[in-house]
Amino acid sequence: MTETAAAADWQAWQRSWDRQQEWYLPDREERFRAMLDAVEALVGPEPRILDLACGTGSISDRALRRFPKATSTGVDLDPALLTIARGHFTAESLFRAESRVAFVTADLRDPEWTRRLPHRHYDAVLTATALHWLRSEELSVLYGQVAGVLRDGGVFLNADHMPDPATPRINAADHAFQKERQARDKAAGTQDWVDWWETAARDAALAGPVAERFRIFGNPADGDHADGEVQSAAWHARALRDAGFAEARAVWCSVSDAMVLGLK
């Protein structure tokens, strides 16, 4: 992506975000598919979705394509990723025609963040590769707030890095295997998190929101979410039950990641 030619090509930015995220998670699309299968199974094919820590809106994108009558609210704090999200969904006539998506700027650590939502209740709250940015006690509070915005019978799905501490040799072997794959992909030109943000900072249309993003979260080159905590899938299921969910369990996993479902 050059500095100016693709400055407002939001679909290209969306695609480059997806490639960068897939460098960490080669089974990302498979995980989205499993997430939306669970949504359809539990609340049907016309969900009102809350896409939590939505970034550029990758979950909303997959959901609105798969479910023509779905709507989505994306929530995030990052002005640069929300700029890409708004640009991408505005440019996609499929979404624009029916005003099916809205984006809200909010900090999920703010006790009042749910007041910014356009709806009181949702059928599905979905999130991916995001809640490990929060500390465990913040996440427990957030789970209670999520229960509050879900209708009875609604579904919550959190797909994230959730290693199992009981299997250190399996984890180490997978880690080494993934590092080798990442080195090969990087040599072939794939951008990691730091590279991607450096490129975004040089783009004329994104430089302002990226500078603001660095003020809020710090510069990725200096480490930008070291405060967060990673927990196992079993921890998440327990925290969801403690927050008032009727049932909670892992419904998908790889060696390092899992997706936990909470049913209200």
- Using CB under 6 A as the criterion, which residues of the chain lie in contact with ligand SAM when the complex forms? 21, 53-55, 58-59, 76-78, 81, 107-109, 128-130, 133
If the CB atoms of residues 49 and 128 are measured against ligand SAM, the closer one turns out to be: 128
Report, in Å, the least distance between residue 128 CB and ligand SAM: 4
Q: For residue 212, what is the enclosing H or E element?
A: helix 207-217
Please give the residue whose beta carbon sits closest to ligand SAM in the complex: 55
Least CB distance to ligand SAM at residue 169 (A): 28
Tokens of 88: 């991408």
- Residue closer to ligand SAM by CB (options 77, 147) is 77
Q: How far is the CB of 133 from ligand SAM (least distance, A)?
A: 4
Closer to ligand SAM by Cβ: residue 141 or 241: 141
Answer whether 55's CB lies under 8 Å from 77's CB: no
Q: Where are the alpha helices (DSSP H) in the chain?
A: 10-24, 28-43, 58-66, 79-91, 93-96, 136-149, 168-187, 193-202, 207-217, 233-242
Q: Are the C-beta atoms of residues 137 and 231 closer than 8 Å to each other?
A: no
Count of beta carbons in the 10 Å neighbourhood of residue 145: 18
Residue closer to ligand SAM (CB basis): 19 or 184: 19
Helix, coil or strand: residue 96: helix
- Smallest distance from the beta carbon of 123 to ligand SAM, in angstroms? 18
Nearer to ligand SAM, 76 or 123 (CB): 76
